Amino acid sequence: MKRNALCLGLASILASAPVFATLPAPAPDTDVDTRFDTVVVTAAAQTSPLTFEIDPKTPRQPVPASDGADYLKTIPGFSAIRNGGTNGDPVLRGMFGSRLKLLTNDSEMLGACPMRMDNPMSYVSPETYDKLIVIKGPQTVIWGPGSSAGTVRFERDTERFEQAGWRGYAGLLAGSWGRNDQVVDASGGAPEGYVRMTANRSAQDDYEDGDGHRVPSRWMKWNADVEAGWTPDTDTRLVATIGAGDGEARYAGRGMDGSQFKRQSGVLRFEKVRMGRVLDAIEASVFSNYADHVMDNYSLRDPDPNGAMPMPMASNVDRRTTGGRFATTWRWGDSFSLITGLDQQSNTHRARNAPGRDVYKTKPWIADARFSSAGAFAELTWKPAAGDRLIAGARIDRAAAKDKRLKTGGMMPMPNPTAGVTRRDTLDSGFIRYERDLASAPATPCMPVSATSSASLISGNCSRHPRPRWARSMRFHR
């Protein structure tokens, strides 16, 4: 029956191990039936009280995720604000937006749309990554400022080729409502280095509601990335990645559709780990990510002559995010480790719009906001005894946001009272957490406490955490 979303995930089926194994007979000399000791977990399992680490290529129900938010929904604590058929906006414990740090290959790809049609996760195709790491709560300071909800990292972690050869992964998916996905991930190399190419395309048609009405929800997106790595030994890696993508999405609940979601990204990363001295690891990265997004009311629909926007209209927004990070890991015996470093990020947001079909392309870009931040961080882990851990982190950031809009928005624009104004602030944040593994049960109670420069102090329940002050300054561009 077509209305049932019965989808055939060829890749998923081929890659799945048998889930239902034959149950052994109950042990004869015990009253307890031990056959059911195995617990079947339908959501992602956590690796520590606050950290989840998942292989996004692992088959999942009902079908492979079309974007990062679709994948995150399977992790307890996450939900998503629906946004048509794809590009949902992830929410962790009630918080989203700038409070949830969303990283790909240690770089930030911030979308350009003021309506969040292109949140950072909409540019992620999970199956082309090797690792998804989620840190819940403001429990790390090493991945940039903010993160009061948590930190999400999609990572490509290409294994070194011990001898010359190649590896590949491919998937096909066909489903009802025109859902079809193609993904390929191929790499070839030798001990000295490798080249890897990942690409995917994913699409779905409009669906029909219970009354047989067609609901605008069609989408299509593609991504392609090429990675070249130099691996002189097992603990040293220099990796350059360039990538591009695009897509489109129809919306039933918006006055415009997303007709372009162009991405261009470049990341250069270096790491040297397990050095065996007090200075145990060095990591450095630089990145440049660019989002070029168009929303209009004529590419994927006809303008409604009786609606609020009877003529063709288009709005084009873009954002370039550049930044870098340098971190070192220090170890003193088995008891102390310290991660310390610096990071920096700059953003430029621009816009242009016009009535008429594609007339916006003839208009000049106008920058409306600039943001930047630079910070220093340190995170210490102390293990006073086996099973006990005390983790503490602190960071300080210098943040700036410049409002470049000459007029306010809306139906009746007025001169912008903060035009040309730059707001600067020095912001501090930190946390301290105690963890203890229980000897009697596979459980680890933990007691987290964190604070930001907005002078808030919380313990335990992170959902009451207010917006950090630096995040408020970013509202200039709204």
Amino acid letter, residue 305? P
| Residues facing 317 on adjacent strands | 293, 351
Q: How big is the site for Cu ion, counted in residues (CB under 5 A)?
A: 4
User: CB count, 10 Å around CB of 451?
Assistant: 18
Q: Based on CB atoms, which residue is closest to Cu ion, 293 or 467? A: 293
Q: Which is nearer to Cu ion, 231 or 316 (CB)?
A: 316
Buried b (16+ CB within 10 A) or exposed e, 291-329: bbbbbbbbbbeebeeeeeeeebbbbbbbbbbbbbbebbb
Which one among 117, 149, 173, 291 touches Cu ion, defined by CB under 5 A?
Answer: 117
Spatial distance between the Cα atoms of 66 and 84, rounded to a whole number of angstroms: 12
Instruction: Determine which residue in the list 100, 103, 113, 471 makes contact with Cu ion, applying CB under 5 A.
Output: 113
Which has the closest alpha carbon to 191: 226, 157, 230?
230
- Tell me how far apart the alpha carbons of residues 135 and 125 are, in angstroms, rounded to a whole number: 20
**Taking a C-beta distance cutoff of 8 angstroms, is the pair 134, 72 a contact?**
yes
Compare residues 103 and 117 and give the one whose CB is closer to Cu ion: 117
In the bound state with Cu ion, the residue whose beta carbon lies nearer, of 82 and 274, is 82
Instruction: Name the minimum Å distance from CB 300 to Cu ion.
Output: 12
Smaller CB distance to Cu ion: residue 261 or 377?
261
Strand partners, 308: none
> Near Cu ion by CB under 5 A, which window of 40-48, 69-77, 290-298, 379-387?
290-298
Torsion of CA 252, 257, 258, 259, to 10 degrees: 130
Q: Are 427 and 59 in contact (CB under 8 A)?
A: no
Q: Closest approach of Cβ 113 to Cu ion, in Å?
A: 3
Interface stretch with Cu ion, choices 123-131, 197-205, 289-297, 461-469 (CB under 5 A): 289-297
Comparing every residue's Cβ against Cu ion, the nearest one is 113
Stretch that binds Cu ion, among 4-12, 105-113, 140-148, 218-226 (CB under 5 A): 105-113
CB of 87 to Cu ion, least distance (A): 10
By CB under 5 A, tell whether 249 contacts Cu ion: no
Is 86 exposed, middle or buried (CB count within 10 Å of its CB: 0-12, 13-18, 19+)? buried
Using the rule CB under 5 A, which residue among 63, 152, 295, 458 binds Cu ion?
A: 295
Residue closer to Cu ion (CB basis): 267 or 295 = 295
Q: How far apart are CA 109 and CA 261, in angstroms?
A: 12
| Contact residues: Cu ion, CB under 5 A | 113, 115, 117, 295
